[in-house]
Structure 1
Amino acid sequence: MQHHPALTASEVAALWNAYMQNTMASCIIQHFSSVNEDEDNTELIQKALYTCNFVVNGVKKIFEAENHAVPIGFSDKDVNLKVPRVYSDLFTLRYIKYMAAFGTSAAAAILELLARNDVRQFFTETSILFINLYNDGTDLLLKKGAFIRSPTMPPMNKTEFLQNESFLSGLLGRHRPLTAIELSHICKNTETNSIGRTFLIGFAQTAQLPEVRKYMDRGSALAEKQETVFRDILLDDGMPLPSTWDSTISKSTDSPFSDKLMMFHTAQLNMISVTAYGAAIAGSMRMDLGAHYTRLMTEILQYSNDGVKFMIEKGWMEQPPQNVDREALKNRH
């Protein structure tokens, strides 16, 4: 007899998250495709749409085979392809590269929790698609001279071991130079805040509800503040600042996206930032950096929590799959 085990909680969570994230990303990239004027971007945009559709259709197939409810996610009701552009074609390219990097890490991170062969195979193929999309996006950015590189460091002359605990705090009242690992986290988090800030400025300009516009304004101000913290750390260390992300935003106030999609996308950006800050804390040995990340993470969590409450009030927050409420079953009469 062939053994066909039921989906585990980890597998359901991974599939559900992938469906939600990729139906959302598909809407955004469809808008980018409809306003694209850069022929160099056309093939990459189509690859991005193919990747999103591969994930969405793959999740749907597995869920339907298991008689598991397919999430609502996002659809053509959440995107308007008849409105003018909000963001530049260069921002489109950078967003696809950013989305591909996140998709790659998310698919790889979940693999160790997957048991069923078909689910592992699905996420393996998903990882390959996102890796290829990332490499294609990076190659195109390099070709255009628009790839944002992290600062360079002089090569090490020799290897050595730490001799005292001052490496964790400072040297005679001053902070020691950043390690390459700490520097990489700072550059990544600067990039995340930059791309998030650009998105939120456009969201604030085009959102329908005043509450959503206010929330987006608050988020863009928070991202700018946190980006400044990272830039100040680089300046204090005598490191050159990375180029700013292209933040060209049109004057259009016609929204290509529903308020529901914009709020969900903001929640995803918050989640990515919190995850990245957690990794940065683990990879940063300088105590002041840990203090910075802890404070900034707390700010994002508060902002994110307020957004989730608003989405619940509006009936926009789709409930993730959850375990059976045994107490409710026992008290049903």
Structure 2
Amino acid sequence: MEHSAKLISSEVAALWSAYMQNSMSHCVIQHFANVNEDKESNEIIQSALSNCRNVVSGVKEIFEKEKHGIPIGFSQEDVNLEADRLYSALFALRYIKYMAAAGTAASSALLEVLARNDVREFFSQTSQMFMQLYNDSCEILLKKGAFIRSPTLPPMEKAENLQSESFLSSIVGKHRPLTVIELAHISKNTETNSIGRTFVAGFSQTAKSSEVRKYMERGAEIAAKHETVFREILVDDGVAMPSSWDSTISQSIEPPFSDKLMMFHINSLSALSVAGYGTGIGTSLRKDIGGHYTRLMSEILQYAGDGVKLMIENRWLEQPPQNVDREALRNRNV
């Protein structure tokens, strides 16, 4: 007898999240495509659009087969293709690189919680798609001399084991040099804040709602503060500063995206920041760095929580699939 397994909760969660993220990114990249004037970037932008469409259609196909409700997600109602350019062409490329890296990591990480063959195959293909997009976007950024590299250190002369617990904390107020692992995560989290700061700055001048504008302004301040903290760690360690991201924003006040999309996007970036800080805590042996991450993570969680409340108030937050409310069923006739 052929076994026809139903979707398990982790598979539904993975598929639902993929639909939401890619329907949103498709809207953002549509705007980039519509205002793009760089011929070298066109192929990358079209590949990114294709990837997003493939993920959305793939999730829809599996859900329809299982008679599962299709998420609302984001549609043409959430993007204004008549709007003028808001971000630079270079920022669009860096956004696609960042999105492709996040898509690759998410798809790969999800595989361990997937059981059904068709779902595993779907996310395996998704991971490969976004990995190719990431590599292609890296190549064009390198060609343009615009790839942001993490700091370079002198080669290690020889391997050795730790001999003192002082490696974990400061010695008479002076911290030991950063490890390459700590440097890698500090650089990555600086990049995430740079992207977020650029996005919220553009969102703050184009949002229709005054509440959303204020929320975005607050986000820009938080991201700038976190960037400063990470850069000061590098300066104190005598590490060469990485080049800055191109955060050029036009003077356009015409919104290319709906307030709903902008709020969801910032919520997603906040989630990525929390995940990045969590990884940073787990891989940093210097206690002061762990302290910075913990403090900054708390601030992001508070900001994200306030954003969720604002989205709920405006009915912009789509409810994820959830378990059956047995108590409500029992009390339906009470």
Asked if these proteins are the same fold (TM beyond 0.5), I'd say yes
Match of 1:42 in 2: 42
1:328 Cα deviation from its structure 2 partner: 1.1
Match of 2:171 in 1: 171
1:67 counterpart = 2:67: yes
1:216 Cα deviation from its structure 2 partner: 0.2
Match of 2:285 in 1: 285
Unaligned runs of 5+ in 2: none
1:190 Cα deviation from its structure 2 partner: 0.4
Aligned counterparts, 1:125-136, within 5 A: 125-136=125-136
1:260 Cα deviation from its structure 2 partner: 0.3
Amino acid in structure 2 at the alignment position of 1:320:
P
Following the alignment from structure 2 to structure 1, what is the Cα–Cα distance between the partners of residues 297 and 311? Answer: 21
Amino acid in structure 1 at the alignment position of 2:192:
T
1:329 Cα deviation from its structure 2 partner: 1.0
Following the alignment from structure 1 to structure 2, what is the Cα–Cα distance between the partners of residues 157 and 305? Answer: 47
1:267-325 deviation digits (Å, cap 9, x = unpaired): 00000000000000000000000000000000000000000001001000000000011
Match of 1:25 in 2: 25
1:12 Cα deviation from its structure 2 partner: 0.2
TM-score by length of 2: 0.99
Match of 1:113 in 2: 113
1:249 counterpart = 2:260: no
> Which 10-residue stretch deviates more, 162-171 or 257-266?
162-171
Match of 2:80 in 1: 80
Match of 2:191 in 1: 191
1:225 Cα deviation from its structure 2 partner: 0.2
Following the alignment from structure 2 to structure 1, what is the Cα–Cα distance between the partners of residues 310 and 128? Answer: 36
Over the matched positions of the two proteins, sequence identity in percent amounts to: 66
Aligned counterparts, 1:199-278, within 5 A: 199-278=199-278
Following the alignment from structure 2 to structure 1, what is the Cα–Cα distance between the partners of residues 298 and 72? Answer: 30
Following the alignment from structure 1 to structure 2, what is the Cα–Cα distance between the partners of residues 319 and 173? Answer: 49
Q: Secondary structure at the match of 1:77?
A: helix
Amino acid in structure 1 at the alignment position of 2:331:
N
1:2 Cα deviation from its structure 2 partner: 1.3
Match of 1:53 in 2: 53
> Which 10-residue stretch deviates more, 124-133 or 163-172?
163-172
Which segments of structure 1 move beyond 4 Å, counting only runs of 4 or more?
none
Amino acid in structure 2 at the alignment position of 1:302:
Q
1:106-135 deviation digits (Å, cap 9, x = unpaired): 101110000000000000000000000000
**Aligned residue pairs: how many?**
333
CA RMSD of aligned residues (A): 0.5
1:89 counterpart = 2:89: yes
Following the alignment from structure 1 to structure 2, what is the Cα–Cα distance between the partners of residues 236 and 245? Answer: 21
Match of 2:147 in 1: 147
Following the alignment from structure 2 to structure 1, what is the Cα–Cα distance between the partners of residues 72 and 331? Answer: 30
1:168-193 deviation digits (Å, cap 9, x = unpaired): 00234310000000000000000000
Following the alignment from structure 1 to structure 2, what is the Cα–Cα distance between the partners of residues 172 and 262? Answer: 46
Following the alignment from structure 1 to structure 2, what is the Cα–Cα distance between the partners of residues 311 and 162? Answer: 49
Following the alignment from structure 2 to structure 1, what is the Cα–Cα distance between the partners of residues 289 and 328? Answer: 46
Following the alignment from structure 2 to structure 1, what is the Cα–Cα distance between the partners of residues 81 and 330? Answer: 49
Following the alignment from structure 1 to structure 2, what is the Cα–Cα distance between the partners of residues 313 and 210? Answer: 14
